[in-house]
A and B are shown apart, each in its own frame.
Chain A
Amino acid sequence: MIQIKHLNLYFGTKQVLKTIDLEIAAHKVTALIGPSGCGKSTLLGTLNRMHDLTPDVRMEGEIRVDQIDVLSPQTNVHQLRKKVGMVFQKPNPFPKSIYENVAYGLKINGVAKGEIDEIVEDSLRKSYLFEEVKDKLHEPATRLSGGQQQRLCIARTIAVHPQIILMDEPCSALDPISTGKIEELIGELRKDYTIVIVTHNMQQAIRVSDYTVFMYLGEVVEFSSTEAIFQSPTKELTKNYVKGHFG
Chain B
Amino acid sequence: MNKTKARVRINKLFRFLFQFSGLLCISILLGIFGMLCYNTIAFFTKISPIDFITATQWAPSSGGDTSTYGLLPLLVSTLLVTSGSMVLAIPLGIGTALFMSEYAGAGMKQWLKPTIEMLAAIPSVVIGFVGITIVSPLISALFGLPNGLNALNGSVLLAIMALPTIITISEDAIHAVPQSLKEASLGLGATYWQTLRGVVLPAAAPGIIAAVMLGMGRAIGETMTVLMATGNTLAFPKGFFDSIRTITATIAIEMGEVPYQTTHYYALFAIAFVLFIITMLVNILAEHIANRIRQFQ
The residues of A with any CB-CB pair to B shorter than 8 Å are 48, 50, 53, 78-82, 85-86, 88, 90, 92-97, 104-105, 107-109, 140-142, 153, 156-157, 160
CB-contacts of B240-297 with A (<8 A): 293, 295-297
With known contacts A140-B295, A141-B296, A92–B188 Cβ distance under 8 A: no
Distance in Å from the Cβ of B187 to the closest Cβ of chain A? 4
Q: CB-nearest residue of chain B relative to A93?
A: B184
**Bound CA span A168–B215, Å:** 42
With known contacts A92-B181, A92-B183, A95-B202, A140–B188 Cβ distance under 8 A: no
By the criterion CB–CB under 8 Å, are A95 and B188 in contact? no
CB-contacts of B17-70 with A (<8 A): none
By the criterion CB–CB under 8 Å, are A140 and B296 in contact? yes
| Candidates B186, B188, B203, B296; contact of A156 at CB < 8 Å | B188
Distance in Å from the Cβ of B138 to the closest Cβ of chain A? 41
Q: Which of B187, B198, B293 has the most CB of A within 10 A?
A: B187
By the criterion CB–CB under 8 Å, are A81 and B183 in contact? no
- The answer to the question of B199 belonging to the interface, with a C-beta cut-off of 8 Å to chain A, is yes
Q: CB-nearest residue of chain A relative to B199?
A: A94
Distance in Å from the Cβ of B198 to the closest Cβ of chain A? 6
Q: CB-nearest residue of chain B relative to A87?
A: B187
- The answer to the question of B115 belonging to the interface, with a C-beta cut-off of 8 Å to chain A, is no
Distance in Å from the Cβ of B297 to the closest Cβ of chain A? 4
**Bound CA span A141–B184, Å:** 14
Q: CB-nearest residue of chain B relative to A109?
A: B189
By the criterion CB–CB under 8 Å, are A94 and B187 in contact? no
> How many B residues face the partner with a CB closer than 8 A?
23
CB-contacts of B167-209 with A (<8 A): 178-191, 194, 198-199, 202-203
What total of A-B pairs shows CB separation below 8 Å? 78
By the criterion CB–CB under 8 Å, are B296 and A97 in contact? yes
Distance in Å from the Cβ of A120 to the closest Cβ of chain B? 14
By the criterion CB–CB under 8 Å, are A95 and B203 in contact? yes
With known contacts A95-B297, A140-B295, A85–B203 Cβ distance under 8 A: no
By the criterion CB–CB under 8 Å, are B183 and A53 in contact? yes
Chain B residues contacting A157 (CB-CB under 8 Å) are 187-188
By the criterion CB–CB under 8 Å, are A105 and B188 in contact? yes
With known contacts A82-B189, A95-B202, A88–B183 Cβ distance under 8 A: yes
**Bound CA span A140–B179, Å:** 20
By the criterion CB–CB under 8 Å, are B183 and A50 in contact? yes
With known contacts A96-B296, A142-B297, A108–B186 Cβ distance under 8 A: no
With known contacts A140-B296, A141-B296, A142-B297, A104–B183 Cβ distance under 8 A: no
Distance in Å from the Cβ of B179 to the closest Cβ of chain A? 8
Chain A residues contacting B295 (CB-CB under 8 Å) are 140
Distance in Å from the Cβ of B55 to the closest Cβ of chain A? 48
**Bound CA span A226–B194, Å:** 40
A-B contact sample (6 more), CB < 8 A, given A53-B179, A81-B188, A95-B296: A53-B186, A85-B187, A95-B203, A95-B297, A156-B184, A157-B188
Chain A residues contacting B186 (CB-CB under 8 Å) are 50, 53, 81
Chain A residues contacting B190 (CB-CB under 8 Å) are 78, 105, 108
Distance in Å from the Cβ of A42 to the closest Cβ of chain B? 14
Distance in Å from the Cβ of B104 to the closest Cβ of chain A? 14
**Bound CA span A86–B297, Å:** 22
By the criterion CB–CB under 8 Å, are A88 and B184 in contact? yes
Distance in Å from the Cβ of A237 to the closest Cβ of chain B? 32
Chain B residues contacting A81 (CB-CB under 8 Å) are 186-189
By the criterion CB–CB under 8 Å, are B188 and A104 in contact? yes
**Bound CA span A58–B116, Å:** 35
By the criterion CB–CB under 8 Å, are A105 and B189 in contact? yes
By the criterion CB–CB under 8 Å, are A86 and B202 in contact? no
Chain A residues contacting B181 (CB-CB under 8 Å) are 92, 94-95
Q: Can you sample 29 A-B contacts with CB below 8 Å?
A: A48-B187, A50-B183, A50-B186, A50-B187, A53-B179, A53-B182, A78-B191, A81-B186, A85-B187, A85-B188, A86-B183, A90-B180, A94-B203, A95-B296, A95-B297, A96-B202, A104-B185, A104-B188, A105-B189, A105-B190, A108-B188, A108-B189, A108-B190, A108-B194, A140-B296, A140-B297, A142-B296, A153-B184, A157-B187
By the criterion CB–CB under 8 Å, are B188 and A82 in contact? yes
| Candidates A92, A96, A104, A141; contact of B180 at CB < 8 Å | A92
By the criterion CB–CB under 8 Å, are A160 and B183 in contact? no
